[in-house]
């Protein structure tokens, strides 16, 4: 069994961030669903996978029905706890990495605040076997932002890691034990 697959499930993303990792990758191998079963861990990413959250829910259920016992992780920056599919995905993950990008809108900040509260109330990693990480672009990692998203109200212990993220031009590292693959969930 292989270690970890970072699975691009869609290239669509509503953000259009400068220096997006997807602008710097090419020749990503396309895989079939059955190939996903060969990995110990799957990291669902994109583009923005939560843009097709109902399809991600279907994928998770299909993995389970196929006997997949590995860990599931999610990389996202557009999770909305008000949507049923987003909550369903959160429930099935071993953890998420949520990124708050540079120049967040009031809606972005509100969404992170709601996610922060949702994780504390429902999926606190101290009571569940999870690893949830919050990455905040270093250009907006301020006391004001930390306050707006509720970290001073709720504390931070329900997050496994909160850190400032420094974006590096033309750099999107893949860990040594990871393979980057593309599974076209939109067409499946």
pLDDT at position 96 over 90: yes
> What does the pLDDT look like over 161-179, one tens digit per residue?
999 988 776 666 777 889 9
* Residue 17 binned pLDDT confidence (cut-offs 50, 70, 90): confident
* Residue 125 binned pLDDT confidence (cut-offs 50, 70, 90): confident
pLDDT at position 37 over 70: yes
List C-alpha distances in Å: 130 to 110, 139, 160.
Answer: 23, 28, 8
**Alpha helices for 42-179 (secondary structure H):** 53-65, 84-92, 106-122, 143-148, 151-154
Per the model's pLDDT, the better-predicted residue between 82 and 19 turns out to be 82
Q: In what order do the strands lie in the sheet with 178-182?
A: 161-165, 133-137, 95-100, 71-76, 39-45, 2-8, 178-182
* Residue 114 binned pLDDT confidence (cut-offs 50, 70, 90): very high
Res 52: pLDDT? 96
pTM above 0.85, yes or no: yes
Res 176: pLDDT? 82
* Residue 14 binned pLDDT confidence (cut-offs 50, 70, 90): confident
SS3 97: strand
> What does the pLDDT look like over 66-95, one tens digit per residue?
999 999 999 999 999 999 999 999 999 999
* Residue 21 binned pLDDT confidence (cut-offs 50, 70, 90): confident
Give the mean model confidence (pLDDT) for residues 18-22.
70
Res 170: pLDDT? 61
């Amino acid at each position: 069994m292989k270690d970890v697959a970072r699975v691009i499930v869609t290239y669509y993303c509503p953000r259009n961030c400068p220096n997006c990792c997807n602008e710097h990758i090419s020749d990503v191998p396309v895989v079939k669903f059955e190939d996903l079963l060969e990995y110990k861990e799957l990291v669902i990413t994109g583009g923005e996978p939560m843009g097709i959250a109902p399809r991600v829910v279907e994928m998770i259920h299909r993995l389970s029905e196929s006997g997949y016992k590995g860990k599931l992780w999610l990389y996202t920056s557009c999770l909305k706890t008000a949507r049923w599919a987003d909550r369903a995905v959160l429930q099935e993950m071993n953890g998420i990495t949520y990124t708050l990008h540079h120049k967040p809108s009031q809606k972005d900040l509100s969404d992170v605040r709601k996610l922060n509260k949702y994780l504390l109330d429902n999926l606190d990693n101290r009571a569940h076997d999870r690893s949830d990480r919050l990455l905040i672009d270093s250009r907006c990692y301020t006391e004001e932002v930390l306050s707006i998203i509720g970290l001073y109200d709720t504390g931070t212990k329900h997050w496994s890691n909160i850190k400032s993220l420094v974006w590096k031009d033309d750099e999107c590292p893949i860990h040594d034990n990871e393979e980057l693959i593309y599974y076209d969930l939109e067409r499946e």
